[in-house]
Amino acid sequence: MPLDSENKTIVPTEFKTVGTRPVRPDGMDKVTGRARFGADMSAPGMLVGAILRSPHAHARIRKIDTSKAEALAGVKAVITSKDLKAQPGCDMDILVNVMARGKALYDGHAVAAVAAVDMSVARKALKLIEIDYKVLPHVTDVDEAMKPDAPVLHKHIEHDYHQDMLETADHVKGKNEKTLPPGKRPSNIAGRYQFGHGDPKKGFREADVIVEHEFKTEATHQGYIEPHACLANVSSDGWAELWVCTQGHFMVRDTCASLLGLDVSRLRVTASEIGGGFGGKTTVFIEPVALALSRKAGRPVKVVMSRDEVFRATGPTSSASMKVRIGAKRDGTFTAAEAILKYQGGAFPGSPVEMGAMTAFACYDLKDVKIVGYDVVTNRPKQAAYRAPGAPMSAFAVEGCVGELAEKLGMDAIDIRLKNAAKEGTVSSYGPTFGPVGLVETLEAAKKHKNYKVKLGKNQGRGVASGFWFNFAGQTCTTINLNIDGTLGLAVGTPDIGGSRASMCLMAAEELGIPYDQVRTIIADTSSLGYNDVTDGSRVTFASGLATIYATRDLKAKLCARAATIWGIPEEAVDWENGAARPAGANAGNFDPLTLADLAEQAAATGGPVAGHYEVNADGAGPSFATHVVDVEVDPETGATEVLRYLVVQDAGKAVHPSYVEGQFQGGAVQGIGWVLNEEYIYGEDGRLQNPGFLDYRIPVCSDVPMIDTVIVEVPNPGHPYGVRGVGETSIVPPLAAVANAVSAAMGVRATTLPMSPPKILAALNNKMRQAAD
Amino acid sequence: MLLVKLGGSLAGQAGGQTEFHVEGRNVIEMLRNLGELCPALKPVLEKGVTVSVDGRLQREATYHPLTPDNEIFLLPRMAGG
């Protein structure tokens, strides 16, 4: 059995409650509409806030006149960037993104906001705000933005193009590239990053076959169904409350306090129920605006984004332009790999290109590997995290090349991956050596699955791809309270975006040996628990789960002490077993077991309330691998793609609630299907977003996808007492590549540009026919 | 002595040097000593890095103990979705 390396305990392999599939505790409220989401909160005297947004992709703001809006009856406050003064130590990029100052950097960038008695008045007020813009040249494409002669967004960002041309040649070509002098100059390239080891040049010389392609992906939005919403209430004595739909209310508290110059202790933030996040709710957009409006108006202010605003002004993920090269021996052994990744992250530095670079070749054991990444700014909204940020794009490019290598070598698509798969002891392409990981197990399970044996028909193709994600842990604080009737209240500080409350209940119940429904988990506000990191990085079932297990063990120890008091024996002579305190052997005495209800009844007499706590900055989140297999059929007349079968195989370490794990697998696959086949940000010549709504930005619906088959692999993570690994992000890493490989096989043409929408597929098929005719 | 390896942007900040030998009983001491040894890295280290100790990722500096036997990588600040 594997060891829990931090606590030197044995990771159990048999469970009573963990691994079962009880009904989710939040399900009834959600399906009946009783659950309170961000927009469902209200307060006496509440105003509504509305935000004026730039209609230009890039424009200098020469003057803002708010006097007419302020004079309108029913308007209680108007703010601009002057009301959000930069505080010492605040993150200026977030502040400028929240409200433009000096320049509007993208279509939809907030420039002013009003609070009024109702939305009708607020909208009229927005129309009365006069802004004098000087429109500037803009750039929205990553390759165009990298050119030396591109419109520059920020003069303080500089780059040495000369060095690039010496190193990587052709990816920054512009009209001046041959005459550029050495040295740094203003640029949209905010960073250049390199990972890898060995000597790829030597490795490519040893290769019998080399595959190389250029790939492009478009930006896609997280597509959460619930738009951003919050209710802020700043009282006249400076105390403030905020109700908000977010993945991290402690982060919201700290960021807003920093931006607004508030004491952290004066701002209490409560996380509402959340209708999806996928990473997009790990930062702030409207929250500081609502607080600033409330502070100025002296009344509660609710701000709810429209879908148009969500698309134009909250983070999609990056778009990417990539070049990948892989060499292999005739037997399929990879000899070398290289990638150049260029990600645009919108108007501010911080695209996830480093994580794209680190994950690109993480599935493979490579002696000679090099990845160079460029972080590029463009006139688009500031990107936000989206499930495994940066990884799906680079996996699309790498796994596309791996698929083509298999074809050229006449190898099975899973066998070539098995031959090169990373395993325990492999030095990863980004540096650290892997511990126990489950890529091989996912590949073997995929190969055995019935889907892999189905014979394909005309215009059909099969795609395989693997993917990797790190998984994170972080700061976590948890409390479990014994209620007077013997049931338990568990308070965690990590918003539940994927069913984590059910998993917490299961783990607490497992520890105590009691039924699942005896534990109720809530998400406590920022004044009720110590700091908790954001619900991100697939960390919650791992880290909040770990904290729940140890808080419950703390509770058990206290319960045993109470039993010892009642029985008049030493604490060491009491064990906890099957939901009750029991004498530890015959020498401890002959006493009837004391259940939770018994101990709760005597709590006052034995010392008062009983609670368990645990606080940790956890590490040990085990990385996760997945393998996806997908069959598609392409209609050569319409260019439409139908997904016929889809299989997700992923290592969960230990599936606490298997239905939720399967739900994460399926959700990742469906989002990936949307990314590869339909979804894209479309910009016009004027730099404005052309499709900011679900009618024109088409995410998959049920009728677009088959039932997603799942296989849960369980290679225990030694860093968790039950062996748990995060599962929320890895499942979106392989689908871009898996579907693209399937479509490529169906078309007989390598697909290198996403989305592979019907017009692009028809163009590829027509081009193929023309080439055949020539 | 600890052997600390740098990845990604950090090696660029360190003038291309990818490995350092530094003293330190824990992550915080190691980062402090690395900053003294390579002042160009100091601003990046203060802003925050991810530390991989034997493959276990820590997204912030802690008093996690270190020994010369540990495999230590400094990676860029990382976040998930």
Closest partner residue to B71 (CB to CB) among A432, A474, A619 is A432
pLDDT of residue A13: 77
Amino acid A167: pLDDT: 54
**How far is residue A633's CA from residue A643's CA, in Å, rounded to a whole number?**
7
Supply the pLDDT for residue A668.
98
- The alpha-carbon gap from B36 to the nearest alpha carbon of chain A, in Å, equals 23
- Give the three-class secondary structure for A48: strand
Question: Per residue in A689-713, pLDDT tens?
Answer: 999 999 999 999 999 999 999 999 9
CA angle B76, B79, B81 (to 5 degrees): 155
Select from B47, B78, B72 the least CA-distant residue to A470: B78
Q: Are A315 and A382 in contact (CB under 8 A)?
A: yes
* Digit-coded pLDDT (tens) for A491-500: 999 999 989 9
* Closest residue by Cα to residue A594 from A553, A560, A569: A560
pLDDT of A35 higher than 50 = yes
Confidence (pLDDT) at A181 = 76
3-state class (DSSP) for residue A642: strand
pLDDT reported for residue A169: 46
Distance of alpha carbon A732 from alpha carbon A391, whole angstroms? 9
Stretch A667-690: mean pLDDT, rounded? 98
Q: Of A388, A431, A620, which is closest to B81 when you measure between CB atoms?
A: A388
Would you state the pLDDT for residue A165? 58
Q: Say what percent of chain A tops pLDDT 90.
A: 92
How many angstroms separate the CA of residue A257 from the nearest CA in chain B?
19
How far apart are the C-alpha atoms of A764 and A8, rounded to whole Å?
Answer: 57
Is the separation of the CB atoms in A249 and A61 below 8 Å? no
pLDDT at A183: 87
Secondary structure of residue A196 in the 3-state scheme: strand
Subunit contact A193:B81, Cβ cutoff 8 A: no
Confidence of residue A10 (pLDDT cuts 50, 70, 90): low
* Pick from A548, A373, A364, A374: nearest CA to A467: A364
- Give the residue on A whose Cα is nearest the Cα of B71: A432
Maximum alpha-carbon separation in chain B: 36
The three-class DSSP label of residue A493 is coil
Q: Which residue of B has its CA nearest to A280?
A: B81
In this complex, the residue of B52, B59, B64 whose CB is nearest that of residue A431 is: B52
Torsion sign across C-alpha atoms A284, A285, A287, A289:
positive
**Has residue A549 got a pLDDT over 50?**
yes
Q: Per-residue pLDDT tens for A276-300?
A: 999 999 999 999 999 999 999 999 9
Q: What is the dihedral of CA A158, A159, A161, A162, to 10 degrees?
A: 100
Name the residue in chain A with its Cα closest to that of B80. A537
State the average pLDDT for chain A: 95
Which secondary-structure segment (H or E) carries B45?
helix B42-47
What is the per-residue pLDDT across A473-497, written as a single tens digit (0 to 9) for each?
999 999 999 999 999 999 999 999 9
- Closest Cβ opposite residue B7 in set A195, A222, A538: A195
Q: Does B75 touch chain A (CB under 8 A)?
A: yes
Interface of B with A in 15-74 (CB under 8 A): 52-60, 62, 64, 71, 73
Q: What is the pLDDT of residue B7?
A: 81
Q: What is the pLDDT of residue A178?
A: 58
pTM: 0.96
- The 10s digit of each residue's pLDDT in A390-426 is 999 999 999 999 999 999 999 999 999 999 999 999 9
Please report the pLDDT score of residue A4 as a whole number.
47
In degrees, rounded to 5, the angle at the alpha carbon of residue A426 between the alpha carbons of residues A423 and A428 is 110
- The DSSP secondary structure of A364-418, one letter per residue, reads B--SSEEEEEEEE--SSPPP---SSTTHHHHHHHHHHHHHHHHHHHT--HHHHHH
Q: What is the tens place of the pLDDT at every residue in A431-452?
A: 999 999 999 999 999 999 999 9
pLDDT in tens, A101-115: 999 999 999 999 999
Is pLDDT of B31 > 80?
A: yes
Give the DSSP H or E segment for A767.
helix A758-773
* Position A655 confidence tier, pLDDT thresholds 50, 70, 90: very high
| Res A491: pLDDT | 98
Whether A729 and B80 lie within 8 Å, measured CB to CB = yes
ipTM for this prediction: 0.95
Quick one: pLDDT band at residue A3, thresholds 50, 70, 90? Answer: very low
- Chain A, residues 258-287, CB within 8 A of chain B, namely 277-280, 282
pLDDT in tens, A54-113: 999 999 999 999 999 999 999 999 999 999 999 898 999 999 999 999 999 999 999 999
Q: Do B76 and A620 touch (CB under 8 A)?
A: no
The rounded distance, in Å, linking the Cα atoms of A723 and A721 is 6
Among A134-138, A551-555, A582-586, the range scoring the smallest mean pLDDT is A582-586
Contact call for A431 and B78, based on CB within 8 A: no
Residues B33/B5, Cβ–Cβ less than 8 Å: no
B50–chain A nearest CA distance, Å: 10
**Residue indicated by tokens 């009282």:** A235
- Asked whether residue B29 carries a pLDDT value surpassing 90, the answer given is yes
- Say how many CB pairs under 8 Å bridge A and B: 98
CB A619 within 8 A of CB B56: yes
Which residues 309-368 of A are in CB contact (within 8 Å) with B?
354-355, 357-358
Residues 6+ away with beta carbon under 8 Å from A360: A324, A339, A341, A371, A394, A395, A397, A398, A429
Q: For residue A755, say if its preceding peptide bond is cis, omega within 30 degrees of 0.
A: yes
What one-character DSSP code corresponds to residue A717?
-
Closest CB to A389 among B64, B76, B81: B81
- Asked whether the beta carbons of residue B81 and residue A536 sit closer than 8 angstroms, the reply is yes
Reported as a pLDDT band with limits 50, 70 and 90, residue A171 is very low
Non-local (6+) Cβ contacts of A23 within 8 A are none
pLDDT tens profile A205-238: 999 999 999 999 999 999 999 999 999 999 999 8
**Six-digit token pair at A528?**
């009720």
Q: What is the pLDDT of residues A174-191, one digit of tens each?
A: 555 556 778 899 999 999
pLDDT at A372 over 80: yes
The structure tokens 């209240």 sit at: A489
* Closest to A149 in 3D by CA, of A180, A112, A181: A180
A329/A504 Cα distance (integer angstroms): 48
pLDDT tens for A583-624 read 998 889 999 999 999 999 999 999 999 999 999 999 999 999
d(CA A658, CA A733): 20
CA dihedral A114, A116, A122, A125 (to 10 degrees): -70
- Look at residue A6 in the predicted model and tell me its pLDDT: 47
